[in-house]
Structure 1
Amino acid sequence: MLAFLWAEDQRHLIGNQGHLPWHLPNDLHYFKSVTWQQTIVMGHRTFTSLPHGALPQRQNIVLSHDHNLHLPHVQMIYSKAELLQLAATSKKIFVIGGSNVFAQLRAEVDYLYVTKIAHQFVGDVYMPPLDYQDFQLISRRQGEVNSQNPWPHEFLVYQRYK
């Protein structure tokens, strides 16, 4: 089973020069709580954007077409087919970026975990379009706005209709 997990602004922006365009501790906490002890999949550029490399207490998988690429502390997968085979035999696998990986897998994703931030930021990477008509909203929770989390935001979970 595949799940996408990302945060986006009002224009579906998800990144800026290899980093998040915002600092929202509520979203970082949500990300950690959802992915703790889970399997996460990302592209090579997303992996290199992580400040400390592989995320602890998670099985880190990097999807890359470069068979010569070997990264420390991660499992390498070199094709979409190989990833889908793994997803068919395991519990939920969280795809965490980047936009090219999301675009490659959008027809196969079963769950969407999205943090929507009610603000517009500057950046250069956008979430590829998703057909929300294929999904049912199963959870919605407002994030708390405070001095560390200044923008209104909500955590939404969608499940693909069977």
Structure 2
Amino acid sequence: MIVLIAAAAQNNALGKDNQLLWHLPDDFKRFKELTSGHYIIMGRKTFESFPKPLPNRTHVIITRQKGYNPEGCIVVHDMESALEVCPKDQAVYVIGGGEIYNLALPYADRIDLTRVHASFEADAFFPEFDPTQWKLVSSVPHEADERHAQSFTFETWDRM
């Protein structure tokens, strides 16, 4: 199963200048719970936005750069190669950025989307997806609180 996992604003904003636009601890917790123990596919810029590789996950990095080879990671040059190196019998998570989500959307079986209830100025966006091709199977709202400046909803969409 190929799963796109993202947090996106109402206007599909993901980030700006390779940084997230919000701080949502419960979203980080969900991301860790879902992706731990799995292969995660990302673009080079997303990988480089981490202080270090994420623990207990196999990193598959898509880049056009020749000779790019961070220790302990699998480096490929296109989405098809990224999917080929991943196990076929378990969930594989695509974690961004915007260009990688666009490339992965046609292959995706599920979208685990944290919909942030605000709009932001951004330079990276989650792709529009046709709601007639997807079924919302779970929607869990989370109000803003002392740890979360924005309200948000955990949504799970399965391809029909």
Place the TM-score, normalised by the shorter chain, in its bin: over 0.9
> How far did 1:87 drift?
4.8
CA RMSD of aligned residues (A): 1.5
After superposition, what is the alpha-carbon deviation per residue over 1:35-62, rounded to whole angstroms, capped at 9, x for unaligned? 1111111000000111x22100111111
- Give the Cα separation in 2 of the matches to 1:145 and 1:94: 27
- Give the Cα separation in 1 of the matches to 2:36 and 2:86: 18
Which runs of 5 or more structure 1 residues have no equivalent in the other structure?
A: none
TM, length-normalised to structure 2: 0.92
Q: In the alignment, what sits opposite 1:25?
A: 25
Q: Percent identity, please.
A: 24
Aligned 8 A contact 1:7 1:14 in 2: yes
Aligned 8 A contact 2:118 2:150 in 1: yes
1:89-108 equivalences in 2 (<5 Å) = 89-108=88-107
Read off the aligned partner of 1:41 and give its amino acid letter: I
Aligned 8 A contact 1:137 1:159 in 2: yes
TM, length-normalised to structure 1: 0.91
SS of 1:27's equivalent in the other structure is helix
Residues 55/3 of structure 1: CA separation in 2 closer, same or farther (3 Å cut): same
> How far did 1:85 drift?
2.6
Query: Is the aligned partner of 1:47 residue 2:47?
Result: yes
SS of 1:104's equivalent in the other structure is helix
> How far did 1:16 drift?
1.1
> How far did 1:70 drift?
0.8
Higher fraction of strand: 2
Runs of 4+ aligned residues of structure 1 deviating over 4 Å after TM superposition are: none
Pairs aligned (count): 160
Aligned 8 A contact 1:2 1:87 in 2: no
Which runs of 5 or more structure 2 residues have no equivalent in the other structure?
A: none
